[in-house]
Structures are given as structure tokens and as C-alpha cells.
Structure 1
Amino acid sequence: MVSWVLLCVLGVGSVLGAEPYRGTYIGKLSTLEHDVTGKVYAVDNITVFVEGFTYDGEAPDAFFFAGNRTPQPTNRGFIIPDERGRNEVLGPYRNKNLVLRFPVTKKGQRSLNDVKWLSVWCRKFSIDFGHVVIPSTLSLPSPQSAEGLRSDKPVLTSPQVTILDTETFLVQDFTFDGTVQDAIFVMGSGNAQSSGSQVSDEKGSQEPLSKYSKKSLYLTIPREVRNQPIQYFGVWSPSKGMLSSVTFDPNALIPPSINSLPK
């Protein structure tokens, strides 16, 4: 079964008008100086979403800052680039929604696994304008993989299928001999032998699949399926039925698509 967070978040909740899924809620930035405020969510282990971020922009050396050497913010940390990927002093913000990605340093990729706090920090005067503590037990959304597709007749293989986020998945090194001329990609809920909803190919086409040889495909989850507890992905033929399919952990925590986050 496909790995959506919870049906109440991405399934029934969406139908009932629940707010868009933002990832795992970390907490609210404390308001200490310069009107800092905002709600912080973990999109995945290297990406955070800050909703409604406000800061007056009046400090001379303020950055998004994170660290793990102390339980509370200090200068012993590192800069998180702003929403444009720049390490520049922060200007003013008024109720802005921001996507921030942890940097790659000489020591490797920084991540939420590495830090105990995230702050709006002035390095020049060593002042914390507002911060949020990262719980040690925080459950981080992450892509979920399943063993790939396999069929000998027709020849149809993929070593791994990965749900990347709530809109996108990857079929790695996909091979198909094209001998079943009405085969299509499908996903759905319930019995994996049913036709489900058609998934467009990597070009956005819904024509029957052509021949492939070890091609990795980024595919988009159909809109009509995103609010359902999806359970399978496969290659299906109207004339021959399901040629091969995979299922996913229904309890896994999937990253929200960046495109789906509130602007």
C-alpha cells in the first residue's frame, strides 16, 4: 500500500477541507526580539517549511542559524541559506511562507538529524531573536521505496520504485519489451489486480507504453488519486490484466510536495 502519511491528512481530511499537508510540525519560533515569529515544519531531513515568518529586518548580521553543540542557540552553529539559497543577511519579512534547505559543507550534507535548534540569530552581537528546539524524537518524512517490478513474459523490470513526495515517484531503470501493446501505468486503492487510475508516462502522455530499456522515469501521481489511500502502482493491460505491481507501507511518512505547500 502506498505510503501516505495518514488518511486524515492526505485522504479523508482533504475531502473535508482540512488544511494542506505541510510535513511534520516542529514548533513555533519563540518571539524574543525584532518581531520574529513563524511555524516550522520538517518537509524531510534536509528541508524545512516556515509558515507565516515575520522579522523586522533591522539587525545588522541576522541569519537562519542551526546547531547541535549546545541545547540553546549560540554562535556555535551554521547558517541555513535563505529561501533563495543565499547566505546573505536577512532583510524584513512580513507573514511569508519560506522553504529552507540545509547546506552542504566540507563535512557533508547538514540535516535536521544533526541539530538541536533552529534560530534567527545575530552573529555580530550573539543574540537569539527567536528559535525552535528540534525534538530528539521527531519523526521526519522521507521517500519510501519498494522492490521493483518483475515479469518475464512480457519482459518488464525495475529494481526499485520510490515515492519521492505526495505528487511524484520514481521508477528506476525501467525496462519493457513493448510486446503488450495496450499496457499502461496505473495506481489505485484496493485490489492490486484492478485497473486503478492511469498514470501518465514521463512525457505526460496517456498513450500505451512503448519499449523502454533501463530508463529511470519520474512520474506524477494523478490528481484524482492524491486524496485516496493509494495502495499500489503497476503496469496494467486491458487485455491481459496486471502485468506487475508493487505495494508500499501504509504507515510511512512521506514528504509533502514543495509545489503543494502554501505560497
Structure 2
Amino acid sequence: GECRARDRGGMYYGRLIGTLQEYAHGIRGTAYAVDESTIFVKGFSYDGTGPDAYFWVGSTPRPSPDGYILPYPEDYVGKDPPVLRAYNKTDVILKLPPGKKLRDIKWLSVWCRRFTVNFGEVFIPPNLEPPRMRVLPEFRRLAHGLRSGNITILDAKTFYIPNLHYDGAGPDAYFWVGNGSEPGPYGIKVPNEVRSMEPLRGYLGEDIEIQLPGNLTVYDIDWLAVWCVQYQHNFGHVNMPKDLDVPPALGQTKITTSSTSPDPDAETETV
């Protein structure tokens, strides 16, 4: 596989797609494949003076009217995506519509619909292999009824833990990450799914997402555990593979903070 593309600052943004070729209006930026349906444009610039310009993708050999808009910003209000305004070295995350993948498109353009003008473009390499989520085994079941489904690394900072069970009886238990062949007292607490650092409550089969704190990524750790700090007791853990190649954490993964419980009579925690 190709190596992970890093810019000069050492930051990892995903697979390099290429630099935007400018034809008009000061288009600048470098595009990366974050995952199979997300593009990151580092340092996007555009003078904002086109009357009807959008990020535009398609599968024709070259940019053409036969394409569709990638809305930016993604969380726009209203019926229609907003026309692009001026940007100066802005980092942009673009999401393909549901069901579409990077392999389905050949280019990304800044395109003026009204005058069918291509302000700038970058072509998607045909053999591009974007980073992917990685499915891990479930938590090892060592104590306090801890168990889960297969844990997924969604991006370099985010874990999805389905069907999590834990009796909540550990006095000082946390999600815990660190280095070495198995969990030990030298580790770092990871906030729970509502970003709290309180000792863990019980879980009754919830599907949760947790994110590593600070600048920590999955590449810095060897395991994720549920660990009792006071008694130095490992309730269960999962090891990180050595050959990880997951999407970078650029803010594209929004963790859902509400826990859904399959049991209607169970206590639910409101956020």
C-alpha cells in the first residue's frame, strides 16, 4: 500500500488526491481522501466573486454540467446549498451524498453553474485506496460482566462500541488506553460517550462512541480497556493492530452523545 500522506507539518489528512489546478478566481487548495466518501481540502482559497459557484463532482472524463453539488458548509440552513463565498486558506470537509463513493467520481471542481465555467479542478486518481474504518474484536470478558460486540475504529480518534454491557460495580472504572502488551497502571483516561470523566456507570447493551482526548490517536496506543484505577484491575480490553490505516480525525466524525437503551424500562441518561 502507499504510505500515508503527510504535509510538511507532519499532519495526516488522508490519501493525497492532488492540488487544485486554478483556471480563475484564485482557486487554491490540496485535496485528500479522508475515507471512501469524504474529501478534505487543505488551505482552500477562492475570491468569492463567481455568481453561482459550488464544489462540484462527477464521473465524466472532465468537469462538465453533468455533475452534482457537494454542499459547503455541510450544515447549511434552507432548501438549497449556499453559493460559495470567499475563502482564504480555509480547511474544508466535503461529504459525498449517501451511497456515493470516491470511486464513483473522477474529479472535484469549483464550478459556476450559471455560466458552466470550471474555476479549478483536481482529478481523483483511479487507483486511489482511501483509508477505511477498522473492525476489531470485542472486549475480552475478564470482570464485572464486561462484554461488547466487535469494536470499530471509525477514525484515528473515535471508537464505536456496540452492545456494551458492564455491571457498573467497579468503584473507579474508566475507559483507559496505553502502551504495552496488555493494560497496566500507566495509562490515560478516555471520556465516556457524553464526554464525561466520571467513573463509568453500568451499561445495558448500549451502542456508544468515544473519542480519545487531546492529540492522542489510535496510532499512539496499543490497547483500549475498561480499567479500575483504584484497584489496578483490568475488566477487559481490546488490542490495536500494528497495521492500522484508518481515516484521520479531522472533525468529520460527529459522535452522538445520547445513549439508546434497548430496554424501555432501563434507566436512560439524559444529556
Shorter-chain TM-score bucket reads 0.7 to 0.9
Query: Could you tell me which residue of structure 1 aligns to residue 11 of structure 2?
Result: 20
Residues 157-186 of structure 1 show CA distances to partners (whole Å, capped at 9, x for unaligned) of 100222222332222121012344443321
Shift of 1:18: 3.5
Shift of 1:194: 2.3
Unaligned runs of 5+ in 2: 253-271
Identify the match of residue 156 of structure 1 among 146, 153, 164: 146
Shift of 1:131: 0.5
| Residues 240 and 257 (structure 1), Cα distance of their counterparts in 2 relative to 1, 3 Å cut | closer
| 1:70-109 alignment runs, 5 A limit | 70-86=60-76, 87-104=81-98, 109=99
Residues 9-44 of structure 1 show CA distances to partners (whole Å, capped at 9, x for unaligned) of 6xxx9xxx9443222221111011222221112222
Query: Could you tell me which residue of structure 1 aligns to residue 116 of structure 2?
Result: 126
Among all aligned residue pairs of Structure 1 and Structure 2, give the percentage whose two residues are the same amino acid. 34
Deviates more, 1:162-171 or 1:219-228: 219-228
Q: TM-score, normalised by structure 2?
A: 0.78
Shift of 1:240: 6.4
Query: Which fold has the larger relative contact order, with Cα–Cα distance below 8 Å and residues 6 or more apart in sequence?
Result: 1
Q: Is the 8 A contact 2:183 2:225 kept in 1?
A: no
Q: 3-state SS of the aligned residue for 1:113? A: helix
Q: How well do the aligned residues superpose, as a CA RMSD in angstroms? A: 2.8
Query: Could you tell me which residue of structure 2 aligns to residue 59 of structure 1?
Result: 50
Deviation beyond 4 Å, 4+ runs, structure 1? none
Identify the match of residue 253 of structure 1 among 232, 245, 269: 245
Letter aligned with residue 185 of structure 1: F
Q: Is the 8 A contact 2:55 2:70 kept in 1?
A: yes
Q: Is the 8 A contact 1:197 1:225 kept in 2?
A: no
Q: From the two aligned structures, give the one with the greater helix fraction.
A: 1
Identify the match of residue 33 of structure 2 among 15, 31, 42: 42
Letter aligned with residue 92 of structure 1: A
Q: Is the 8 A contact 2:142 2:234 kept in 1?
A: no
Answering whether residue 202 of structure 2 is matched by residue 211 of structure 1, we say yes
Q: 3-state SS of the aligned residue for 1:151? A: coil
Aligned residues: 244
Deviates more, 1:35-44 or 1:84-93: 84-93
Partner Cα distance (1:217, 1:251) in 2:
25
Query: Could you tell me which residue of structure 2 aligns to residue 186 of structure 1?
Result: 176
Letter aligned with residue 215 of structure 1: E
Letter aligned with residue 235 of structure 2: L
| Residues 61 and 153 (structure 1), Cα distance of their counterparts in 2 relative to 1, 3 Å cut | closer
Letter aligned with residue 167 of structure 2: D
Shift of 1:235: 1.8
Q: From the two aligned structures, give the one with the greater strand fraction.
A: 1
